[in-house]
Amino acid sequence: METRNLRKERIGIVTSNKMQKSIVVSEVKKVKHPMYGKFVLKTKKYVAHDETNDCNIGGTVKIMETRPMSKSKCWRLVEIIERAK
């Protein structure tokens, strides 16, 4: 029996849900600047598959890596951690 590799998971905030069955999730990290030592915010955007169009802008979600579904979409929605208010 074959074992599947571990899939990457990310937690972020939904920044766009204008597309059908797709959302844009932003992950914000605090990274220490190598020379000056100041902490800088780095943002990375992921396009994820949302089958039920359930997410709203501002909600916190967990996404998981999956096979490529389009040119830019290779993540899928796992769960909604906190709904937008």
Write the pLDDT tens digit of every residue in 43-54.
999 999 999 999
Q: Does residue 5 surpass a pLDDT of 90? A: no
Which H or E run contains 39? strand 39-49
pLDDT band at 2 (very low <50, low <70, confident <90, very high): confident
Query: Could you give all domains of the chain from N- to C-terminal order, each with its CATH number?
Result: 9-82 (2.40.50.140)
* Residue 10, helix vs strand vs coil: strand
What are the pLDDT digits (tens) for 60-80?
A: 999 999 999 999 999 999 999
Residue 1: pLDDT over 80: no
CB 13 within 8 A of CB 62: no
Report, in angstroms and rounded to the nearest whole number, the Rg of the chain calculated over CA atoms: 15
Q: CA-CA distance, 39 to 8, in Å (whole number)?
A: 25
